[in-house]
Copies of this chain bind each other. A is one copy, B any other.
Amino acid sequence: MSRIVMKFGGTSVANVERIRQAARHVKREVDAGNQVSVVVSAMSGKTNELVGWVNESSKLHDAREYDAVVASGEQVTAGLMAIVLSEMGVPSRSFQGWQVPIHTDDAHGAARITEIIPDELNARMDEGWVPVITGFQGIVPDTGRVTTLGRGGSDTSAVAIAAAVKADRCDIYTDVDGVYTTDPRIVAKARKLKAVTFEEMLELASVGSKVLQTRSVSLAMKEKVRVQVLSSFVDDDAPLADTLPGTLIVSDEELEGLDMESQLITGIAADKNEAKVILTRVPDKPGAVAHIFGPLAAANINVDMIIQNVGREKGETDVTFTVPGADLVRTQALLEEHKDTIGFNRIITDPKVAKVSIVGVGMRSHAGIAATMFQALADRGINIQAISTSEIKVSVLIDEDETELAVRVLHTAYGLDTETA
């Protein structure tokens, strides 16, 4: 008997027929003798619809009301899933975040889970019930107000619940059947990976591989939750516990134990949701950068790549950085608000950029990997606007129109193409 948390994303619960298909996966695991909790997203498109209404109501809305509106989507799918499961003979009930309860901080719109009280979930599972929990949300215990965890937060909910109920595995069912060396819609020769490390997945997720949300992966790494990504659109009557048909995301140690062919580069990721911001003629003095990024951090805007072009004018510099495209308007407003403190001349923005990254734990022990990347891009005339690196990743910022070309070029350059495709 294993204890499994099964999470179904928006496309896996897009309508009642798909919810039924997802429920069959749940029933299969229950029939195999496993204890299961289910976490669901909103129907695909629904969250966008709700966010659209909020933005139509007011550009500058109270984040608490945003959350009150947007959290309604998962409530619908959780209830429907519980109904479908019950009809299949699997006793089930839905839980909203506040009913579990899932406690969060009060960073409305991008809240962090602070505590999950698992008693009710554990009791239900011990009795053979399947709790179906709304992903993406929780409650601030002090104020009693509903929070959301930010886009993609349902993955984080699932991993946090898996940790809280001490699950053996957290299965993330989605519309792809695993993690690929790159987006198969861009590169037909992309290969599915049998396993990746948490750190690789973290880089792949954070640079936009779209399979798993970043925070969920770092939480899984911290809480040592084994995660599997797999497709909900494959009908398979056999229990998955032994077959593991998706991509397993595990620790370095467990990956070594799996004895798989090692690769210098695990995958190539691309992210078009970045926007570039250039502040011209910022005073080149200590503290200047803090004046720029302090207000953005306070507003929960994640700044990614930062480049400081020194020496433009004496005592002045241009500062370039990227933010999520969705935060660009807020970023501009905040910077204008703090213009006097920062002391810049002009804001230039460009939402038409993309970040392309190569990721792999193999990078740690091999030099010259980045050089291959720069050369391959240069050979195709792709201009690099910015570079950032980590221990297992190299990212470049390029013109958005060249994204697909860059990914294909790099996929080939690092020998990731499949023989047959």
Residues of A bordering B, CB below 8 Å: 16, 19-20, 50, 53-54, 56-58, 60-62, 64-69, 71-73, 75-76, 78-80, 82-84, 86-87, 93-94, 96, 98-99, 144-146
Contact = CB atoms under 8 A, between A and B. Distances in A.
A80 B53 contact: yes
Contacts of A96: 68, 146
A144 B58 contact: no
Contacts of A66: 79, 83
A206 to B, nearest CB: 30
B68 A16 contact: no
B83 A58 contact: yes
A81 to B, nearest CB: 8
Contacts of A53: 16, 76, 80
A78 B146 CA distance: 13
28 contacts: A53-B80, A54-B80, A54-B83, A57-B80, A57-B83, A57-B84, A60-B87, A61-B86, A62-B86, A62-B93, A64-B93, A65-B79, A65-B80, A65-B82, A65-B83, A65-B93, A65-B94, A66-B79, A66-B83, A68-B78, A68-B94, A68-B96, A71-B75, A72-B73, A72-B76, A75-B75, A98-B98, A99-B144
A90 B288 CA distance: 38
B72 A75 contact: yes
A66 B87 CA distance: 13
A90 to B, nearest CB: 12
Contacts of A69: 75-76, 79-80, 83
Copies in the assembly, this chain: 2
Contacts of A145: 99
B62 A82 contact: yes
B75 A68 contact: yes
Contacts of A64: 93
A79 B86 contact: no
Nearest to A84: B57
A56 B94 contact: no
Contacts of A57: 16, 19-20, 80, 83-84, 87
A83 B71 contact: no
Nearest to A56: B16
A75 B50 CA distance: 11
Contacts of A87: 57-58, 60-61
B58 A84 contact: yes
Pick from A16, A66, A80, A99 the residue with the most CB of B within 10 Å. A80
Nearest to A67: B79
Given A62-B93, A65-B79, A65-B80, 12 more contacts: A50-B76, A61-B83, A62-B83, A62-B86, A65-B93, A65-B94, A68-B82, A69-B83, A72-B73, A72-B75, A96-B146, A99-B144
A56 B66 CA distance: 29
Ordered nearest first, which 9 A-B pairs have the shortest CB separation? A69-B79, A68-B79, A72-B72, A58-B87, A57-B83, A16-B56, A61-B83, A72-B75, A65-B79
A79 B56 CA distance: 12
A69 B65 CA distance: 19
A145 B84 CA distance: 19
Contact of A58 (B68, B76, B86, B99): B86
A248 B362 CA distance: 77
A79 B108 CA distance: 14
A59 B65 CA distance: 34
Pick from A62, A71, A73, A146 the residue with the most CB of B within 10 Å. A62
Contacts of A20: 57
